[in-house]
Amino acid sequence: MSKFDPQKHHRRSVRLKGYDYSQPGAYYVTIVTWHREFLFGEIKNKEMYLNKIGKIVEWEWLELPKRLSYVKLGAHVVMPNHFHGILFIHESVGATRHGQKMSQPDSDSLQSFTTDGIDGSPLPKGPKPASLGAIIAQFKSRVTKRIWKFPEFKETPIWQRSYHEHIIRDENDLKNKTDYIESNPMLWEQDDENPTNIK
């Protein structure tokens, strides 16, 4: 297994300049563990078996729509050292519809999680409230806080800084990303995030 090289393996930001990531849309996201460490479980016979940490990741992801009314979820998978998920933002927070103001994020919602920097690396600037960046920052932060309750993980970095996202453009794109997520454990040996494949 090759050693993690922060210069070689740094995840470059691919955010679209000027794109409003709080607007309604579908997004495919990938979030990687710190130094690609196997924190969430293991692949056996082409199936993913979550450990207690991996179960926290999955639970927090599934809780997102319960806390954030403008979020819906598509397919997701927790892998040994990364996470893939499809997320739909189905209304603009703060926008008006039929003359009525839409709900704002509550005080325990997005803003309080955008700049605390406990996802494994400091956050230089908080993302726009209710944007994709703020949603992912909250998710990563909540996962980290819960994992840190285990003494063996206290203050251990969990996530790489930032995340990768892809804006889903149409139904065919959505199907391709969903199929990839659902087949990810079966294709682990060829996965780009599998350290054995990093040259």
Please report how the helices 52-67 and 132-147 are oriented relative to each other, as an axis angle in degrees rounded to 10.
140
CA distance 72 to 32: 22
- Domains of the chain with bracketed CATH: 25-95+104-187 (3.30.70.1290)
CA distance 41 to 36: 13
pTM of this structure:
0.73
User: What confidence score (pLDDT) does residue 17 get?
Assistant: 54
* pLDDT averaged per 10 residues in sequence order, the chain, 199 residues: 36 47 84 95 94 97 94 95 93 47 40 39 55 92 96 92 89 92 89 72
User: What confidence score (pLDDT) does residue 190 get?
Assistant: 80
User: What confidence score (pLDDT) does residue 192 get?
Assistant: 79
User: What confidence score (pLDDT) does residue 187 get?
Assistant: 87
CA distance 29 to 82: 10
Nearest of 86, 99, 83 to residue 36 by alpha carbon? 83
8 A C-beta contact, residue 71 and residue 88: yes
User: What confidence score (pLDDT) does residue 199 get?
Assistant: 55
Tokens 């979550």 map to which residue? Answer: 50
Helix (H) or strand (E) holding 176: helix 171-183
User: What confidence score (pLDDT) does residue 198 get?
Assistant: 60
User: What confidence score (pLDDT) does residue 130 get?
Assistant: 74
